[in-house]
């Protein structure tokens, strides 16, 4: 997501995963500050009380320097399934000695096998539910959020993960924000939510921010634990080790990601900034780390950090596809330049993710031409709209029109939240979160039209 220059207002937008900007970024769009906003949903306290919540907004921020369903005969989203393992005949059954029965191993759910991704980023929902939020479907029936989404054709969920969100200047800290008693979006919370997603038979996209708080074009704050790195090589080693740790935890829990995003809206690079005395929990008002950073002003550094993250993913599971996410979809030349810089330095990714909020990357009328151009220019790559709102039908139609099934699908960003980027797909009545019939009807229609 990218965010507007306003540091005190969360202005987030769904981002289409896309690569943009080169060593000298040429994006004309103003950065979006995903650091909170008056239109965000209320935060629920365990006792049911309401507090104003201010998660960062998606967009273009430069400010702040149970079982899984059968997959038999189902079409497959290109490249999301690993090669089928060869069947091995079972050996003779043996009974263990009394009292020595083995603990059943975690059986990972089947990989996502849908023909097209209708996804949503609901990273903030875990906190809402544990705070007392209750989701109500368009039929008036209370349902778990994953069941509700599946009921309308959603088949994939995107979750962000922060390194140490409780650290000073992390998203759960009290620096310029209301401190949180529990820090969500860390590794353990992400693993717990991912297990629910996989148990529901849905696809799972893991979004590494490589920060203790939201990363976007305006701020890519180096995690506290890594700020002592004396070189880009050392910083890359820490990023790779962290990536391995999170991936291993997910696989061990039976929550293997189907797609992994290395970095979030990384048009300017990643792991660039450090906090200042004026930095808040969203990373606003941070400064470039002069010693070690991954700014795209030095693409060699950017490539080293991206390659380290990718190596960490593939060290655990070489079959998981990797996506890079940039946000300047409104600057097609900048996107081409960014991708060429990555490819020329052997950054081995599979999918280009783009953000597509008309407020920040518009006009929407240009997106079809941009995506078709990118598909022709980079025939070996697939594409995803990593974040968007509100152009639901348009963007999914554009994705399905790309050749050879390389438009994999899209992810609506945080459907419980509203802001300059677009309106929520739910309304709030106390702690009840009510699905808007008109909004979800669009997905009902797409599920029918797309044969999902």
CATH, residue 361: 3.20.20.80
| Closest residue by Cα to residue 20 from 395, 333, 343, 385 | 333
1 in any annotated domain:
no
pLDDT level of residue 74 (50, 70, 90 thresholds): very low
What 3-state DSSP class applies to 13? coil
What integer best gives the mean pLDDT of the chain? 84
383 in any annotated domain:
yes
Q: Residue 6: pLDDT above 90?
A: no
**pTM for this structure?**
0.82
Q: For residue range 210-266, list pLDDT tens digits in order.
A: 999 999 999 999 999 999 999 999 999 999 999 999 999 999 999 999 999 999 999
Contacting residues for 32 by C-beta, under 8 A, at least 6 apart: 1, 2, 3, 4, 5, 11, 12, 13, 57, 58, 59, 60, 61, 216, 217, 218, 357, 360, 420, 421
d(C-alpha 438, C-alpha 452), whole Å: 19
Contacting residues for 105 by C-beta, under 8 A, at least 6 apart: none
92 in any annotated domain:
no
100 in any annotated domain:
no
Q: Which domain holds residue 38?
A: 16-65+109-450
Number of domains in the chain: 1
Q: For residue range 185-196, list pLDDT tens digits in order.
A: 999 999 999 999
**DSSP character string of 389-443:** -S-HHHHHHHHHHSGGG-EEEEEEE-TT--BTTB--SEEEETTEEEEPHHHHHHH
332 in any annotated domain:
yes
Cβ(441)–Cβ(143) under 8 Å?
A: no
Helical (H) or strand (E) element with 321: strand 321-326
What are the C-alpha distances in Å from 46 to residues 51, 130, 131, 133, 433?
Answer: 11, 7, 5, 10, 16
| Closest residue by Cα to residue 265 from 40, 29, 79 | 29
d(C-alpha 173, C-alpha 184), whole Å: 11
What six digits make up the tokens of 191?
A: 């693993």
Q: Cα 229 vs. chain centroid, distance in angstroms?
A: 26
55 in any annotated domain:
yes
What six digits make up the tokens of 81?
A: 């399934």
392 in any annotated domain:
yes
Pick from 37-51, 93-107, 358-372: least confident: 37-51
Q: Residue 26: pLDDT above 60?
A: no
266 in any annotated domain:
yes
């Amino acid at each position: 997501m990218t965010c507007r220059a306003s540091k005190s207002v969360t202005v987030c937008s769904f981002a289409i995963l896309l690569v943009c900007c080169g060593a000298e970024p040429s994006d004309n769009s103003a950065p979006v500050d995903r650091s909170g906003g008056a239109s965000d949903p209320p935060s629920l306290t365990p006792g049911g009380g309401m507090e104003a919540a201010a998660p960062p907004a998606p967009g273009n921020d430069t400010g702040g320097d149970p079982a899984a369903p059968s997959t038999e005969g189902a079409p497959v989203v290109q490249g999301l399934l690993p090669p089928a393992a060869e069947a091995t005949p079972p050996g003779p059954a043996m009974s263990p000695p009394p009292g020595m029965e083995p603990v059943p191993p975690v059986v990972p759910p089947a990989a996502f096998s849908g023909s097209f991704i209708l996804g949503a980023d609901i990273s903030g929902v875990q906190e809402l539910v544990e705070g007392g939020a209750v989701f109500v479907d368009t039929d008036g029936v209370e349902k778990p959020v994953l069941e509700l989404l599946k009921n309308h054709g959603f088949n994939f969920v995107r979750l962000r993960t922060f390194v140490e969100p409780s650290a000073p200047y992390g998203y759960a800290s009290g620096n310029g924000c209301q401190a949180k008693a529990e820090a969500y979006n860390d590794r353990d919370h992400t693993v717990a939510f991912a297990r629910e997603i996989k148990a529901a038979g849905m696809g799972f996209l893991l979004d590494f921010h490589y920060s203790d708080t939201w990363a976007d074009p305006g701020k890519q704050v180096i995690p506290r634990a890594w700020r002592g790195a004396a070189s880009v090589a050392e910083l890359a080693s820490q990023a790779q080790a962290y990536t391995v740790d999170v991936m291993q935890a997910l696989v061990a829990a039976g929550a293997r990601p189907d797609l992994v995003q290395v970095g979030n809206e990384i048009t300017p690079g990643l792991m660039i900034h450090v906090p200042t005395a004026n930095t808040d929990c969203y990373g606003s008002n941070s400064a470039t780390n002069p010693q070690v950073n991954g700014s795209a002003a030095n693409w060699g550094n950017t490539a080293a950090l991206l390659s380290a993250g990718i190596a960490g993913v593939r060290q655990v599971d070489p079959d998981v596809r990797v996506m890079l996410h940039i946000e300047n979809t409104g600057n097609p030349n900048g996107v081409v330049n960014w991708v060429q810089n990555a490819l020329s330095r052997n950054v081995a990714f599979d999918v280009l993710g783009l953000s597509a909020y008309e407020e920040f990357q518009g006009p929407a009328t240009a997106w079809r031409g941009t995506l078709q151009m990118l598909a022709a220019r980079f025939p070996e790559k697939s594409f995803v709209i990593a974040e968007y709102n509100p152009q639901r039908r348009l963007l999914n139609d554009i994705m399905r029109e790309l050749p050879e099934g390389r438009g994999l699908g899209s992810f609506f960003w945080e459907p419980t939240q509203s802001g300059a980027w677009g309106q929520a797909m739910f309304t709030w009545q106390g702690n009840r979160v009510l699905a808007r019939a008109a909004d979800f009807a669009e997905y009902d229609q797409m599920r029918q039209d797309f044969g999902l």
